[in-house]
Structure 1
Amino acid sequence: MAAPDGAAAALGALLQPAPGLRVLVTGGTSGIGLAVVTALESFGARVHVCGTDADRLAAHLDAVPGRTGSRCDVSSPDEVAAMVADVERDLGGLDVLVNNAGIAGPTARVEDITTEEWRRTIDIDLNGAFFCAQATAPMLKASNGSIVNISSVAGRLGYALRSPYNAAKFGLAGLTESLARELGPDGVRVNAVLPGFVDSDRLNRTTQARADAMGLSFAEVEGILMAKTSLRTKVSEQEVALLVAYLLSPAARTISGQSLSICGNVEYL
């Protein structure tokens, strides 16, 4: 029997973010970041977007009235500080930080990875999340807000040929738990979302790079990836975005310090 209309409405309100949330999404002009921006705006959030490509950012801001943004390389503390000042000016405070900005890094054996490649991956994927959390913490404490770190199943499983990315994502798991403990007494929740093989241009690029490194075809490597996943399926960017939205809902008010996989159960990498 279907639930009464009132019960259905109450359940819907419990499972989605409250309208009017002030949200900063880093790396929000493409991929998972853009899916998160779009989903949260559909629930009535006011979103400030950051990206490194000024032209792409401008196009996204022009496309949606009221959407604000900043050009920012999150690996730079000075640029992060300037972006957070923009957020405070444009939104008047902050309720949610979504740390999404990241790069895939090199696909290569450890002896072939350059120092520059290692440092750049760690700088963006791990240091950037720290700098953004550090700069927004006062506003999030004031609003009893929330941080969602977009990580990866590579944050819980070893990943051959992807050591810089793997190390950054394991670091992000530790950062998530540490910040949850530190900021929890101030009413701030901190969680991480761990997507599996996301059906995206990035996955296609990294799959091809892995195929090249292993001397295999794209189809062969893709088959290997799917064989590692219990449900034998990829994850969509929209599914990841909806998990983020759930973590910002009243139903998730006591979820903190968690790394939640959305991956079809990736068994190993």
Structure 2
Amino acid sequence: MLLKNKVIFLTGGTEGIGLECAKVYSAAGARLSIITNNEASIELAKAKLPKSEILFINADVSVAADMQQAITETVDHFGSLDVIHNNAGISNPSKAIHETTAEEWDKVFDINVKGIFNTTRFGIDELRKTKGNILNTSSLVGEIGQEIHAAYSATKGAVNALTKSMALDYAPYGIRVNAVAPAGVWTPMLRSWSQQQPDPLTIENYLDGIHALGYCPEGDVVADACLFLVSEQARFITGCILPVSGGAELGYRSVINPLNQLNQS
């Protein structure tokens, strides 16, 4: 029970990586406040999660008033706040920068980056009381870039820099700030992105191939890493951008790996 009685404010927690995090956090004893602006996804998540110790709030991370109210409602309901996990995010648009509209640019930054700004400024006083921590869901593309995904990559680069700066700012209060950086993970968002690519039929093989471990995983592998980072087992880790990437960042690989052939024979 690594998170027994800890109160976690989890944005984007009704599907994808967020839902997998909700499962492992709950199993570890946490009490959850799950934030989403997708009302329909709440009912789907309820069917997959425990019936108690979870508060669902319909709110938009990009709207300051929504986050202020959500933090207040969480603390009123549970009495405290130990962790903010900024997981909510969008991947659109899948375009080069010259094809991206101002509206698309603003929306992806409002959710992926401004969302962290909003939850932090309204939640930081509560985290000071508990010496809690903040976890941001980033992406490997924030370090290495990605073809025809400029705006999204820029937001994740911002999340990485923000994570490190926040870690320095809040260390004097005993508050840790970290991020996880997956490569490919099979989520509804990734499947939507896949259909926007020039050749969607090749995407599954492509995503398997970019990971040194040979496959594109489900969200549970990221959730397990998140559980570690928000728990006391990571009590001396802050400012870390943890790759959960199956080695995707390690460098070029040959198209035909003889060890893979050996394993398959």
* Structure 2 equivalent of residue 245 of structure 1: 227
Amino acid at match of 1:77: A
Pair 1:27 & 2:12 matched = yes
Q: Secondary structure at the match of 2:9?
A: strand
* Correspondence for 2:86 among 96, 99, 104: 99
1:170 is aligned to 157
AA partner of residue 160 (structure 1):
E
| Per-residue CA distance 1:112-149 (angstroms, 9 max, x = gap) | 21110110000000110111111110001110001110
**Mapped partners of 1:138, 1:194: distance in 2:** 27
Q: Secondary structure at 1:37's aligned position in 2?
A: helix
Equivalent position of 1:5 in the other structure: none
| Per-residue deviation, 1:28 | 0.7
Q: Does 1:89 align with 2:60?
A: no
* Aligned residue in 2 for 1:7: none
Higher mean Cα deviation, 112-121 or 65-74? Answer: 65-74
Aligned residue number for residue 214 of structure 2? 232
Aligned equivalents of 1:199, 1:122: Cα separation in 2: 22
1:255 equivalent in structure 2:
237
Relative to 1, partners in 2 of residues 1:61 and 1:221: Cα closer, same or farther, differing over 3 Å? closer
Letter of the 2:236 counterpart = T
* 2:90–2:189 Cα contact (<8 Å) kept: no
With the length of structure 1 as denominator, give the TM-score of the two structures: 0.87
Question: Do the aligned partners of 1:26 and 1:98 also contact (CA within 8 Å) in 2?
Answer: yes
Instruction: Report deviation, 1:37.
Output: 0.8
> Is the contact between residue 141 and residue 188 of structure 1 (CA under 8 Å) also seen in structure 2?
yes
Shift of 1:155: 1.6
Q: 2:56 aligns with which of 49, 53, 69?
A: 69
1:173-192 matches, cutoff 5 A: 173-192=160-179
1:208 aligns with 2:214: no
Q: Structure 1: which 5+ runs fail to align?
A: 1-15
Match of 1:18 in 2: 3
CA distance in 1, matches of 2:117, 2:2: 24
Q: C-alpha offsets along residues 134-191 of structure 1, whole Å, 9 cap, x if unaligned?
A: 1110001110001110111112111121111101000000110011000011000000
1:45 is matched with 30
Q: In the superposition, relative to structure 1, how do residues 18 and 66 fare at CA in structure 2: closer, same or farther (>3 Å)? A: closer
Aligned length: 249
Write the distance in 1 (CA, Å) between the matches of 2:201 and 2:211: 16
**Structure 1 residues 224 and 57 mapped into 2: Cα distance closer, same or farther (>3 Å)?**
closer
Counterpart code for 1:219: L
**1:125, 1:95 → 2: CA distance?**
22
Question: Please, which runs of 5 or more residues in structure 2 have no aligned partner?
Answer: 253-265
Distance in 1 (alpha carbons) for counterparts of 2:218 and 2:227: 15
Asked if 1:222 corresponds to 2:209, the answer is no
| Distance in 2 separating the partners of 1:60 and 1:201 | 14
- Deviation sequence 1:172-211 (CA, Å, 0-9, x none): 0011001100001100000000111102232222122123
Q: Is the 8 A contact 1:61 1:68 kept in 2?
A: no
Aligned partner of 2:224: which letter? L
Q: 1:145 aligns with which of 101, 111, 132?
A: 132
Alpha-carbon contact 2:3-2:25 (below 8 Å) kept: no
Matched residue, 2:120: 133
